[in-house]
Structure 1
Amino acid sequence: MYKVKVVTSGFQKDLKGKREKVAHLAEGQYHFRNNKHYVKYNDSDLDKENVIATTIKTDGGKLTIFRRGAVDTEMIFLHGEMTHTSYHTPYGPMELEINTRQLEINMDEVGGQGEIDLFYDLAVNGSPVGEYELHIKISNAGK
């Protein structure tokens, strides 16, 4: 296990073309087992009282992001493919449709460093909501 810094940044573009920048910095943990990379960290950017435990899992081709807490979901990203998942919130569940347009994963199992670039379209309950661009940088913070 390695301690890591996780920097997420990107843009959300709604259907009207309005772009909003998103960014987050967290400390977490990196594990490599069974030929898969795992990065775990807590996301409290949106709501300091409701921390969301986030896990990024990848084998280099498929990316899965688990979020547990105030929201509960398992988002799967595969380049060129459409995936479906449920997104559970305090206000009820929503069905997500994720169209992954681009996915680049470069991870180093020694030291837990890497970068992930992700571009996808998102629909909620069958209605398109926007385009998303996400860049995740993971850097070693020591043992």
Structure 2
Amino acid sequence: MEFKRTQRQHFFTILTFSMVSWLWYDLLTSGTTLEVILGLLCGAWAVFIAYSYLRTPSLGRLDPDGLTLHRPLRTVSFKWDELQWASLGENQRALVFAYRHQGDVKDRYIGCSRKVLTPDALDAITDAVQTARPNLPSSPPKAENGAKT
């Protein structure tokens, strides 16, 4: 299952890019040094928005053996057996996964906002995790020596 952006997300991404681009143009043509600097920052922001939008045509993919999430600067992929814990509660603002590839010493973390995914995608991810790893913890284990993990 591939997770796509909704029409609303497409609209607001293009609207944000357009507004930041207009602000960039307006600030660069004003002439004062501060406004030119702000214009350059807005231009860099607009370029990042466009790059993120074009680089990630889909938000991710759910496979029988794992999950792949596409981010603006990298793609994160892990298998179900590499999961250490997952916070999937409905009262959480984001899905948080802790995974460890073979040979890693520390956990790696990846989060995904609930606002980004559709309700069908959220249900599919939650069901897939609970099916593949029914006894998976929902938070990091507590350290026995009093140290924080």
Same fold, judged at TM 0.5 (above)? no
Between the two structures, name the one with larger relative contact order (CA 8 Å, sep ≥ 6): 1
Larger relative helix fraction: 2
Q: Report the TM-score, using the length of structure 2 for normalisation.
A: 0.30
Q: Report the TM-score, using the length of structure 1 for normalisation.
A: 0.31
Larger relative strand fraction: 1
